[in-house]
Amino acid sequence: MLPTRPIDHLVYTVPNLEAAIDDLEAKLGIRPVFGGYHDTQGTKNALVNLDNGAYLEILAADDNNTAISPPRWMGVDCLTRARMTRWAIKSEALPADSNTLRAYDEAMGTIFGGSRQTASGGWLRWEMILPTAEPEVDILPFMVDWRKSDVHPHEVLPNMGCSLVEVYATHPEPEMVLSVLEQLGVGLRVEKGPQIDLRMKLECPKGIIEL
């Protein structure tokens, strides 16, 4: 089941970016492309182009960046294993989304802007609802607005033959998040399970792979 609002990207957080790139190349049949550094967050990433204007972000701590102290965003510093820890949807109504998230958790909902230049000389410019540092996995999405950007990240990536099949979650008490997801207009499947978990299914050159 794909959410009703358009997905921007999926975040697969890993202990070591270089090792994860090799591992995902073996699993998916395509090699993720190094993306860059988040200097204000202390992380770095690699990317896989998905269909429908979305992408997969492989995220890791940038240990060479000593200016940013833990805890860093998206579960990087409480990570127990390589796994999907966050996901983002596209938004043109960040203030309204922020209010919905803050009503659930006052630590959520901070709006943050940023930019970086691409290798081709264009600019990526975004406003986003800042993902929190904890917990390790957050089922509720954060939001990104790219309307001021020259391009969207997926547009500067090569076609990799990968598409998103499904995103789903498990939670010991699904009703805790389902009402917020409904308010956000997100139709995520959340099953009852022993732990909070986010999963994705991708169709790539090596078949349908679940991460």
Please compute the mean of the pLDDT values over residues 27-46 and round it to a whole number: 93
Residue 119 has pLDDT above 80, yes or no: no
Residue 51 has pLDDT above 90, yes or no: no
The identity of residue 6, as a single letter, is P
Asked if 101 and 129 touch (Cβ cutoff 8 Å), the reply is yes
Residue among 56, 179, 82, 175 at smallest CA distance from 137: 82
- The residue whose two tokens read 């409480």 is 78
Residue 7 has pLDDT above 80, yes or no: yes
Please compute the mean of the pLDDT values over residues 41-55 and round it to a whole number: 93
Q: Which helix (H) or strand (E) holds 116?
A: strand 111-117
Q: Which helix (H) or strand (E) holds 24?
A: helix 17-28
Please compute the mean of the pLDDT values over residues 9-15 and round it to a whole number: 98
* Model confidence band, residue 195 (pLDDT cutoffs 50, 70, 90): very high
Please compute the mean of the pLDDT values over residues 52-65 and round it to a whole number: 94
Give the per-residue pLDDT at 2.
63
* Model confidence band, residue 140 (pLDDT cutoffs 50, 70, 90): very high
Find residue 12's DSSP bridge partners.
58, 84
- Residue-wise pLDDT tens digits, 99-108: 999 999 999 9
Which domains can be identified in the chain, with CATH numbers?
A: 7-210 (3.10.180.10)
Residue 142 has pLDDT above 90, yes or no: yes
- State the average pLDDT for the chain: 94
- The residue whose two tokens read 């890791």 is 60
Rounded distance between C-alpha atoms, residue 68 and residue 66, angstroms? 5
Give the per-residue pLDDT at 121.
75
